Amino acid sequence: MKNHEGLNPQEIVGKQICTLRKQLKLTQASLASSAGMEESALQRIEAGRTNPTIKTLYKVSKSLNVEIKDLFENL
């Protein structure tokens, strides 16, 4: 488990999404488009500045080809 001391859960999930996105060599724009959302919304999620809905997280996870539970791996 990575050290996420001092981060809140939405920041940890945002970092996990960013990590998975980069592993797939996707840009924020391409992931956002695939998930049917605005790039600025994805930027806020990755930065931990917003609390995304389960529906949004589901769409992002499907676009990353992972299960939604994988976004919470480091909590």
Which pLDDT does position 33 carry in this prediction?
A: 98
Length of the chain: 75
Task: Tell me the average pLDDT across 50-66.
Answer: 97
Dihedral sign for Cα 43, 19, 25, 70, please: negative
At the second CATH level, the architecture of 9-72 is: Orthogonal Bundle (1.10)
The full set of domain ranges for the chain reads: 9-72
Q: Report the predicted TM-score, pTM, of the whole model to 2 decimal places.
A: 0.90
pLDDT at 69 over 70: yes
What's residue 3's pLDDT?
A: 55
pLDDT in tens, 5-44: 678 999 999 999 999 999 999 999 999 999 999 999 999 9
